[in-house]
Amino acid sequence: MSQLQKYRTLFLDRDGVINARIPFAYIERPADFQFLEDAPKAIAQFTQQFDYIVIVTNQAGIGKGIMSSEDLDAVHAHMLLQIEAAGGQIDAVYHCPELAEDNPNCRKPNTGMALQAQYDFPDIDFETSIMVGDSASDIEFGKRLGMLTVLIEGKVGEEEVLKDLEVDYRFGALVELACYMLE
């Protein structure tokens, strides 16, 4: 059995981890949202293994006026419905609508979304949490809180930075992490 079995909370980035990124664009409506290979199946497996599964996602498209909070809510409702249909359960979805240049506390790598999750679910312990993301800011977010970090490789435009990034585990897809956890 994998040594990851002792972890109780799973934090997931959304774009590039659960769904395909649209290069230089945003997931503005449910029709834009395309799950990555077997992501709902992986989340269904994680539902059996973790006390909490939390999505933490930067969504600057709102801050840029490209989409509204209501648009994002529709995307997330669509995503959650499909995850639930596959047998998975997401306990909460947190997003940061602000722009990176404003350096808000909620925007990864800052820790505001995780602290909000811990406030909402007081028994979340970051030392028994895993952060899964596809970017350097996701990994930094996890490290700032003492989480185990998992990089989903393949983010276009960050290859050089990610190549040398210090991370606990690397996988090509979320489903690979799920399979590893079964070993």
Per DSSP, the residues of 145-174 read TT-EEEEE---TT-HHHHHT---SEEESSH
Domain edges within the chain: 11-182
**Which listed residue (13, 71, 134, 138) is catalytic?**
13
Whose CA is closest to 113, among 74, 87, 142?
Answer: 142
pTM for this model (two decimals):
0.95
The question of whether 13 is a catalytic residue gets the answer yes
**Which listed residue (15, 71, 134, 138) is catalytic?**
15
Using 50, 70 and 90 to split pLDDT, how confident is the model at 2?
A: low
Mean of pLDDT over the chain: 95
The confidence score (pLDDT) of residue 125 equals 98
Q: Name which of 2-16, 56-70, 102-116, 148-162 the model is least confident about.
A: 148-162
Reported as a single tens digit per residue, the pLDDT across 85-130 is: 999 999 999 999 999 999 999 999 999 999 999 999 999 999 999 9
CATH of domain 11-182: 3.40.50.1000
Distance CA 8, CA 116 (A): 17
Q: Distance of alpha carbon 112 from its chain centroid, rounded?
A: 14
The question of whether 91 is a catalytic residue gets the answer no
The confidence score (pLDDT) of residue 108 equals 98
Using 50, 70 and 90 to split pLDDT, how confident is the model at 1?
A: very low
Whose CA is closest to 121, among 157, 90, 79?
Answer: 90
